[in-house]
Structure 1
Amino acid sequence: MILKIKNLGQVKEATLGESNLRVIVGDNGTGKTLLLETEALINNHFKIESSIMAEELYSFVHDDIKMDLNWKKLYDYIRVFRSNRNASIQLKCTFSIDEESFINEKFYELTRKIESYLIEKVNKEVLLAKETPLEIEFVDLPDLIQQETVDMEFQGDGEDCFFYGLIRGSIAGIININEIEKMDSNFANASFLNNDGMKIKYLTIADIKKRFEEEFKVQFLNSLISSYFAEKNILFLPSERNLFMDNAINRTLYENSINRSIEGDKDFKLRYSEHLFNKSYLEFKNVFKRHGEVVNKIISHHPLEPSLRKLFEGRPTFDENGEFSDLIKDNGQKIKRELFSTKQNRLIPYVLIMDPMKRYKEIIIEEPEAHLSLKSIRQFIGFLKELLRKDYNVTLTTHSDVFFTHLNNFILNNSEINVTVYELKNIADQSTLEEKTKGEDGYEIDLFSKELDMLFEDTLDIQKKEN
C-alpha cells in the first residue's frame, strides 16, 4: 500500500510506502506520530472491512468471475469429514475474470469512496477534530488480475467444523458440517428409500457447488484486495507513553466509557497510538488470565525469547495476571520489577511482541533510543536484526543522531534488507516527508548535519573567546 497524505495536522504532505525496515527521522513536533497513527488506523480499517468491500465488489461483477475447481473432490472430502473430523485436503483452483469486465473501475470507485470515509475517521480518532482539510489517497492502485491459480486448503478442527482458505491470501472461512447436513438430511445415504419405495433426493455435487461457489469467489476478491492493502496485526509502541503500563488499564477502561467520541470528555483523550498500545497490553493480560501456564510455555519457546532475554539482560517472568513481575539473571539472581533499571522499565512493552494470540508482523517503535545508553543502543540494534530475520516488518522513529548513526551502519552492513529512510522536514511550522537516497556512506539527514554544524561553530566561537 502506498499512502499519500496532505494537511494532516502540521504535516503538509507525505507519501508512505512499505518496506521491511522503515526509519522516519524528524524533530520534535514534526508529525511523526500523526503519520504512523493514520497509517495504523487505515490498516485496522481494512483488516475489518476488506471482506465487506469484496462482497460489494462481487455484487457488481459476479457474472464476470469464473471458477475452475474439482467439485467432486470437495464433495468427497465433506463426506469423509463426517467420519474423520481431522481430515484435510488441498485443491487447485483457478479464478478468471472476463477481459471486458468493469471490475477495476468498480474497485477504484469503491476505494475512492473509502478514502472519504477514512478522512472522517482520521479526523475523529487521530486528530480529535470534527473537520480538517485532510486529504488521503491510495497511490498506484493495482489492476485486479485476470487469472490466477491458487491452492485451497481444507482442514478439520477435530469437532464439527472445517476451515478453508486460499493459501495465497491467507483468507480463511469456517464451515460447520451441521449446516451442510441441514441442506439434505440424507446427504450420506444415496440409497435411502421412502415408504413407497421411491428413492429420496440427496445432496449432490451440484448442490455443493451452488452452496460454495459464490463464497469462494468473494474470498478470492478479498485476497486480491488484501494483497494491496496488506492489513496485518500491528503492535504500536509509542514513545514516553508506553512507560506508564500500570496506568493503562484505568485509562483504557475510562476511554471505553466515553467511546472515543467527539462529544465525550474533551479534557481526557487518549492519542490513537496510546489507545492501540493499551488495547494490546490488555489483550495480553487477558490471555494470561485464561491460559497463563500454556502462554508461559509458548513464550519460553518463542523465537524472539533469546534475543529479548539478551536485551533485558535476564529472562522475563510473568505472574498469573500477565504482569511482568521479575527478571531471572543467568546466574539465577531474581530482580523484582520494582528494582528494574530505567532501561529495563523502558523495554517492558517489548514483551508484547511475543503475544501468542496476536502474531504481530508489523512493529512500530517510537524513539527506541530513549533512556538507553550507548551500549544499550548497540544491544537494541542486535535485537532489531533478529526482528527482521524473523520476518517482522519494523518502523522506527527517531531524532537522535547517535542512534541514527548506529542504524546507518546497520543498514550498510545488511544490504539484503529492504529499507526506506524518510526525513520529516519542517519549514514555517509545516512538515514535508522526504524519502532519502542511499549514498556510499548510507543516508545523510539534513537535520543532523545542520545541528552538528551549528554545534561545531558554537564550539569554535567559545574556543576563540578563551584564547
Structure 2
Amino acid sequence: MRIQNLGPIKDGTVQLNRLTVLTGNNGTGKTLAAYSLFAFRYWLENQFTPNLVTEAQIQQIIAGEPVTNTVDYYLSVLEKQLIDNFNKLNDSESFYQNFFRDDSVYVSGTTKLTINKHDISELILPKEKRLNWFYRWDYNLETDSIEGQSSVNNLIENRIYSTYLDKSDSIFTYYDVEGGKQEQSGVSQAPSMSQATKLVSGNIFNDLFASRKTSFYMPAERIGINVFRNRLNNQIVNDSLQVPVANANQIETTTSANERYPYPIEAYIKYINNSLGRLKEPLDKRVQDEKLKALVDGLVPGEFVYDEVKNEVNYNLPDQTENRTVTFNLLSSSLKSLFGIDIFIRNIGEGNWLFIDEPEMNLHPTRQVMMMDFLYQLAAIGTNVVISTHSDYLVKELMNLMLADKVKENTATSQLVRVYNFEASTITDLGDITDDDVELANFDITTDQINNRYYGLIDQLDKRGSTHES
C-alpha cells in the first residue's frame, strides 16, 4: 500500500509479508500505517462486491448455451476491480473520514491510500488451494416460461447445484444440466436474477482469493477498553458502533452525543463483546504444538473466565489455592494487555490477520522476548501478523529467531518477515535485518548514547578519585 499525506507520513509504501514489523520513534506514523492496512482488510472482508457474471450470461445459461472463461480471465478481472474500487475510496472520502474520524489526520483531497497489482497478487490463493466449480441452474420448463414472465425469481429453479472440477482443469463452465444433481445446502428459495449474478461472482472471488480470512486489531488503548468495557458499552455500543462505509449515502446523518473513536478502536470493542464466549473454548488446535503451548502458558499462566450472569471477566490463578479467582480490575497490567490475544488464540483460523499496536505493552523484557517468540511461531503456522513496536527486545529477538533458522538451514519463516522503519516523514524497508550492514538506528543509536555517557561518567569519577589520592 502506498500512503501519502497521512498525518506525519508524506509518502511511503508498505508491502506486507506474513510477519510485518513497523518500527520508529513516537509520532512517525506507525499506528496510522497499521490503521491504513487494517482499513484495506476491513474493506476487502466486508464491503468489496465483485462483478464477474452478467445477467445476459445467466440468460444464456437458462437457454442452455454454455458460458466458459478461464481462471486467468477471472483473476485479471478481479485484480482490476479490487484495485479500482479500493483506490476510488479516496474520491468519495466518506469511508476514510468515518474510519479515521480525524480531519487533521485524513485530509480531504490530500491524503491518498492506494494499492497496486502486487498487493492483489499476494492475496491470490495458491493453485493447490483453489477450488474450481461448476455452477448450475435448472430452469423448470414445466411450470414457468421465460417469455412474458414478470418475476425473475421464477426464472431459476429453487436450488443451485455444484460439483468440483478436476483440480488440473483451469476452466469454469456455467451451463444447464440434466440429471446427476447434487443439492447445495443452505439455499431455501429461488434467487432473483441479480442475486444469482452476485452469488456466482462472490463464489468465484472466494474460490480464488483469500477473502474470507478475518482481521483482528488490538489497539494501544486495549487496556483501558478491557477495564472499562461495561462503561464503554453503555456509551458507545448503544450507538451501534457505526461502521465505515464506502457510500456517503449509507452513513447515518444523526450525530452521536458520545465521543467516537477511530474505527480500529471500536472494532476491538466489538470483537471483545462478541467473543467473550470463546473463553470457554479450548485453545485452537494450531497452538497445541508443544513449543507454542509453552509460550502461551508463559504469557498467560492462569485462565480468563467470563461470568455471563454478571457480564464480567475474572482470572483464575494457576495455583490451586482456595481463593484463586481475581477480578479483572485487580490484574497486572501485563495480563490486561494480553486479554485480547487469549481470546484470539482460541479460534485463530488459517490465514487470519492479527494487528497489534505495541505488543510489548506493560511486559517485562523477559516476556517481551517471549511475545516475539510467540508471534514468530504464529506466523510460521500461517497467521498473518502486523505489529508496530518501540521495543528493542522484540526486534533484537526477532533477529535472533531469524538467525537461528538460518543456522538450521531452515529459512522458510525468516523469509516471511519484513521490517520497516518510520523516520522523517518516510517509510524505509530495512530488508534482511540479520545482515551485518543493517543498522537499527531507532534503537542502536540510543543504546550507544546511553552506554557512551555511562562509561564517560565512570571515567570522570575514576579521574577524580585519582586526583584526590594524589
| TM-score class, shorter | 0.5 to 0.7
Counterparts of 1:98 and 1:302, CA distance in 2: 35
* 1:365 is aligned to 2:375: no
Structure 1 unaligned regions, length at least 5: 72-92, 155-159, 184-209, 289-294
Deviation (angstroms), 1:179: 2.4
Q: C-alpha offsets along residues 176-218 of structure 1, whole Å, 9 cap, x if unaligned?
A: 56526x99xxxxxxxxxxxxxxxxxxxxxxxxxx999856742
SS in 2 for 1:179: coil
The one-letter code matched in structure 1 to 2:35 is E
**Alpha-carbon offset, residue 301 of structure 1:** 6.4
Q: How much does 1:47 deviate?
A: 1.3
1:126 maps to 100
Shift of 1:446: 1.9
Find out whether 1:336 has 2:326 as its counterpart: yes
How far apart are 1:266 and its partner, in Å?
8.8
Q: Quote the Cα distance in structure 2 between the aligned partners of 1:4 and 1:314.
A: 42
In structure 2, relative to structure 1, the CA distance for the partners of 1:213 and 1:239 (3 Å cut) is closer
Matching residue's letter, 1:117: L
Mapping 1:250-329, distance limit 5 Å: 250-252=231-233, 254-255=235-236, 257=239, 259=242, 264=255, 268-285=259-276, 288=277, 295=278, 298-299=281-282, 303-304=286-287, 306=293, 307-320=295-308, 323-329=312-318
Judged with a 3 Å threshold, the aligned counterparts in structure 2 of structure 1 residues 445 and 327 are, in CA distance, closer, same or farther, namely: same
Question: Which residue of structure 1 aligns with residue 177 of structure 2?
Answer: none
1:123 aligned partner, one-letter code: Q
Q: What is the rounded CA distance, in whole Å, between the counterparts of 1:301 and 1:34 in structure 2?
A: 30
Q: Which residue of 2 aligns with 1:86?
A: none
What are the residue-to-residue correspondences of 1:31-42 with 2, within 5 Å? 31-42=29-40
Match of 1:421 in 2: 419
**Aligned partners of 2:279 and 2:304 also within 8 Å:** no
Identity of aligned residues (%): 17
Q: Kindly report the root-mean-square deviation, in angstroms, between the aligned alpha carbons of the 2 structures.
A: 4.6
Quote the offset at 1:137 in angstroms: 1.7
1:433 aligned partner: 427
User: In 2, Cα distance between the equivalents of 1:442 and 1:242?
Assistant: 38
1:139 maps to which residue? 116
Question: Which residue of 234, 237, 256 corresponds with 2:215?
Answer: 234
Out of 87, 110, 120, the position equivalent to 1:115 is 87
Q: Say whether the 8 Å CA contact 2:226–2:336 is kept in structure 1.
A: no
Cα offset, 1:62, TM superposition: 5.1
Within-5 A mapping of 1:25-36: 25-36=23-34
Tell me, what secondary structure is at the counterpart of 1:368? Answer: coil
For residues 266 and 38 of structure 1, the distance between their equivalents in structure 2, rounded to whole angstroms, comes to: 27
- Residue 232 of structure 1 aligns to which amino acid in structure 2? K
Question: Is 2:241 aligned against 1:246?
Answer: no
TM value normalised by structure 1: 0.67
Q: Which amino acid aligns with 1:21?
A: L
The structure whose residues are more often strand, as a share, is: 1
Larger displacement relative to structure 2 (38-47 or 349-358): 349-358
When normalised by structure 2's length, the TM-score is 0.67
Q: Trace 1:9-408 onto structure 2 (pairs within 5 A).
A: 9-50=7-48, 52=49, 54-55=50-51, 57-59=52-54, 95-96=69-70, 104=76, 108=80, 111-118=83-90, 120=93, 121-129=95-103, 131-140=108-117, 150-152=131-133, 176=186, 178-179=188-189, 217-223=200-206, 226-227=209-210, 230=211, 232-252=213-233, 254-255=235-236, 257=239, 259=242, 264=255, 268-285=259-276, 288=277, 295=278, 298-299=281-282, 303-304=286-287, 306=293, 307-320=295-308, 323-329=312-318, 331=320, 334-337=324-327, 338-354=329-345, 356=347, 361-408=352-399
- Give the equivalent residue in structure 2 for 1:459: 454
Offset at residue 28 of structure 1 (A): 1.2
Spell out, residue by residue over 1:220-276, the C-alpha distance to the aligned partner (whole angstroms, 9 max, x if none): 54237745xx46311111124434313234335533528477984698231322111
Instruction: Describe the shift of the 1:138–1:360 C-alpha distance in structure 2 as closer, same or farther (beyond 3 A).
Output: closer
* Partner deviation per Cα, 1:319-347 (whole Å, 9 max, x = no partner): 22674312241546624135423322222
Flag the 1:376–1:113 CA change in 2: closer, same or farther, 3 A.
closer
In structure 2, distance between residues paired with 1:109 and 1:303: 34
Say which of 435, 438, 441 aligns to 1:446.
441
> How big is each residue's C-alpha offset from its partner over 1:423-454, in whole Å with a ceiling of 9 and x where there is no partner?
111x2xxx211111214359531222332233
Change (3 A) 1:303 1:61: same
SS in 2 for 1:273: helix
| Distance change >3 Å, CA 163–CA 411, structure 1 → 2 | farther
Distance in 1 (CA, whole Å) between partners of 2:253 and 2:364 is: 41
| Residues matched between the structures, number | 385
